[in-house]
Amino acid sequence: MSSAELRLEGIAKTFGEVVALDQVSLTVQRGELLTILGPSGSGKTTLLKVVAGFETPDQGSVKVDGVEIARLPPAERDIGMVFQNYALFPHLNVRRNVAFPLEMRNTAKGEIERRVTDALNLVELAGFDERLPRQLSGGQQQRVALARAIVFNPRLLLLDEPFGALDRKLREMLQLEVRRLQQRLGLTTIFITHDQEEALVLSDRIAVMSKGSILQIASRSEIYERPVNDFVADFVGESNIFHGAVSAQNTITLDNGRVLQVRSDATPGKRLGVLMRPERFSSSGANVFAGEVLEAIYLGASFKLRLRCESGMELLVRQPARGKLPAKADRLTVGIDADELHLFDL
Ligand code: ATP
């Protein structure tokens, strides 16, 4: 069986008063890795459970290659899964853990041996066959879980914060490993995370979720460069977000009184959000801000500065770490061009 297209249409799920999913629709292309990114409680896990068959939606359809699967039991969906807390069988060794889904499917013995060996090779755990889960590190246990999720050639792979419990270095290594493996096998994959950096590293596309709804689904650069609203702009990356109204052609007057040069042909009076990414400032530009340094943090590759400008407007600015770190109360002037500002509807 090969990888499939997944299409969700109008999925709704409530738990009593809580609307966990509110009319969610999305398509994951064959071989694509889609990350679902959102804060705790936004409905990510519920969405994955609906796809896996552990929750029945109140409304909506789940189609794999055009075939409705919303009523199929989990075991018949042909979906591989990895969760945050490994859930390996503690009393079975690595080989038996990975063989389990094949045994459930009554695969022939020789075939099981061959496929388990392949899967363990893929996750670089050849030679660990006889170990018990407790004799493995957290990262190794997650690799076993991954091998078990892919060993039966699933049509979809679902990963729910699989590296949440691991330290940063290991997490970064496994992110790259998963990405390589997923691309090599051409596996249609949904990866859930609340970590925006993880989403940026891994994805073909990102779906940003909040309160049971998908706010934006787009490529990584689109999400970062052209977020559709305050929430997405704020959740992905660092941001300076202001609101204002168009006051003339290519001009916005912010609610704090500051006038900005922008690129917009919106009619005067229209209210817009303005996003300025901290790294897009330089020493000059169409919009210049003179301010006082409130905070200066040395981050190795860059300086992170908080400036207070006229009328109390605060800006977060990132500068390449060259020369001396500005000191608190230093005066500093930064600028940003109209092209570097992103505008969104309010
Ligand atoms: P986290 O990142 O913390 O895992 P999440 O985005 O995965 O969060 P969900 O676990 O999908 O969020 O939960 C969405 C909402 O639905 C939450 O308000 C949660 O409390 C609620 N919820 C989820 N499962 C149940 C359940 N079985 N019974 C009642 N409420 C539930």
**Separation of 46 CA from ligand 1 center, angstroms?**
6
Q: Is the separation of the CB atoms in 209 and 43 below 8 Å? A: yes
Q: What is the pLDDT of residue 138?
A: 86
Other C-beta atoms closer than 10 Å to the C-beta of 14 total 15
Pocket flag, ligand 1, residue 56 (CB < 6 Å): no
Q: What is the pLDDT of residue 312?
A: 86
Residues in the chain, pLDDT under 70: 1, 85-86
Q: What is the pLDDT of residue 83?
A: 82
- CA dist list (Å): 168 to 172, 198, 199, 201: 6, 10, 14, 13
Nearest CA residue ID for atom 9, ligand 1: 43
Q: What is the pLDDT of residue 86?
A: 59
Which secondary-structure segment (H or E) carries 342?
strand 342-345
Q: What is the pLDDT of residue 139?
A: 87
Distance CA 99, CA 148 (A): 7
Q: Which of 43, 80, 53 is nearest to 159 (CA)?
A: 80
Pocket flag, ligand 1, residue 36 (CB < 6 Å): no
CA 212 to ligand 1: nearest atom: 14
CA 209 to ligand 1: nearest atom: 6
Q: What is the pLDDT of residue 157?
A: 96
Q: What is the pLDDT of residue 311?
A: 76
Q: Is the separation of the CB atoms in 181 and 121 below 8 Å? A: no
Q: At 154, phi and psi to the nearest 5?
A: -70, 160
**Separation of 40 CA from ligand 1 center, angstroms?**
8
pLDDT tens-digit profile of 112-161?
999 999 999 988 899 999 999 999 988 899 899 999 999 999 999 999 99
Strand order in the sheet with 67-68: 18-28, 6-15, 59-64, 67-68
Pocket flag, ligand 1, residue 193 (CB < 6 Å): no
Distance CA 144, CA 135 (A): 12
Q: Is the separation of the CB atoms in 12 and 61 below 8 Å? A: no
Q: Is the separation of the CB atoms in 65 and 42 below 8 Å? A: no
**Separation of 49 CA from ligand 1 center, angstroms?**
11
